[in-house]
Chains A and B, each alone.
Chain A
Amino acid sequence: MTATKNRLIAAGLAASLVAGMATVAAAGEIRVGITMRMISENGQKYGQMVMDEIDMINKAGGINGNTINATLLNDECKSDKGVANATKLIFQEKVHLLIGSTCSSVSLPIVDVTAKAEVPQIIPHSTNAKITQKGSAWVFRVPVSGRYYAGVNAKYVGENIGKKIAYLCAADAASQNDCEAMQSQMKSQHGVEPAYAAQVQEKEVDFRTHMQKIKTANVDGIMIAALAETMARALTQSYEAGIPASVRRIGSSSASNSPVPSIAGDAAKGVFFAAAYAAADRRPIARLFNEMVRKRYNINAPDHDFSQAYDLIRIVELALGRADLKLDSGSLAADRTAIRDAIASVENYQGLASGPISFCAAPTPQCRDGNRTAVLIAYTKGGENYVTEVLARVTMPADFGL
Chain B
Amino acid sequence: MDFDFSSLFAFILFGLTIGVVYGIVALGISLIYSGLDIVHFAHGEIYMFGAFFGLVFSEQVGVPYPLALLSAMICAGVLGIVIERVFYRRLTRAGGGYTVAGMGMIICGFGMSVVLQNIAFLIWGADAEPFHVDLGEPYQFGDISLPKSYALTAVMALFLMAALHFFLVRTKLGLAVRAVAHNKDIAFLMGINVPLMISLIFGLACALAAAAGTLIGPMQSVQVEMGYLMLMKAFAAAVVGGFGSLPGAIVGGLLVGIFENLGAAYISPSHKDIYAFLLLILVLMIKPSGLFGVEARVKA
B-binding residues in A (CB < 8 A) = 39-42, 171, 198-201, 203-206, 208-210, 212-213, 215-216, 229, 232-233, 236-237, 240-242, 259, 262-265
A206-B14, A209-B11, A216-B7 are known contacts. Are A40 and B269 too (CB-CB below 8 A)?
no
B10 touches A212 (CB 8 A): yes
Distance, CA A205 to CA B232, complexed state (A): 14
B229 touches A216 (CB 8 A): no
- How many pairs of A and B residues are in contact by the CB < 8 Å rule? 86
B271 touches A201 (CB 8 A): yes
Most buried by A among B18, B138, B149, B269: B269
Return chain B residues, CB-CB under 8 Å to A240: 138, 145, 147, 149, 219
Return chain A residues, CB-CB under 8 Å to B149: 240
A242 touches B138 (CB 8 A): yes
A201-B272, A212-B144 are known contacts. Are A262 and B130 too (CB-CB below 8 A)?
yes
A213 touches B273 (CB 8 A): no
A205 touches B220 (CB 8 A): yes
Return chain A residues, CB-CB under 8 Å to B30: none
B270 touches A206 (CB 8 A): no
CB distance from B8 to the nearest CB of A (A): 10
CB distance from A255 to the nearest CB of B (A): 15
A242-B138, A242-B140, A263-B221 are known contacts. Are A171 and B270 too (CB-CB below 8 A)?
yes
Total number of B residues with any Cβ neighbor in A under 8 Å: 36
B71: interface (CB < 8 Å): no
Contact of A203 among B127, B229, B270 (CB under 8 A): B229
B132 touches A265 (CB 8 A): yes
In the complex, 9 of the A-B residue pairs with CB atoms within 8 angstroms, ordered by the A residue number, are A39-B126, A41-B125, A200-B270, A201-B271, A205-B226, A206-B261, A232-B130, A259-B127, A265-B132
A200 touches B7 (CB 8 A): no
B127 touches A40 (CB 8 A): yes
B140 touches A201 (CB 8 A): no
Distance, CA A212 to CA B5, complexed state (A): 12
Return chain B residues, CB-CB under 8 Å to A40: 125-127
Residue of B nearest to A384 (CB): B130
B272 touches A229 (CB 8 A): no
B220 touches A201 (CB 8 A): no
Contact of B128 among A200, A209, A212, A232 (CB under 8 A): A232
B223: interface (CB < 8 Å): yes
CB distance from A232 to the nearest CB of B (A): 7
| Residues 1-21 of chain B, each 1 if its beta carbon lies under 8 Å from chain A, else 0 | 000100100110010001000
CB distance from B211 to the nearest CB of A (A): 17
B162: interface (CB < 8 Å): no
Residue of B nearest to A42 (CB): B127
Distance, CA A264 to CA B223, complexed state (A): 14
B143: interface (CB < 8 Å): yes
B269 touches A210 (CB 8 A): yes
Return chain A residues, CB-CB under 8 Å to B128: 229, 232, 259, 263
Return chain B residues, CB-CB under 8 Å to A237: 219
9 A-B pairs closest in CB distance: A242-B145, A199-B270, A240-B147, A229-B128, A205-B220, A263-B130, A208-B14, A209-B265, A212-B10
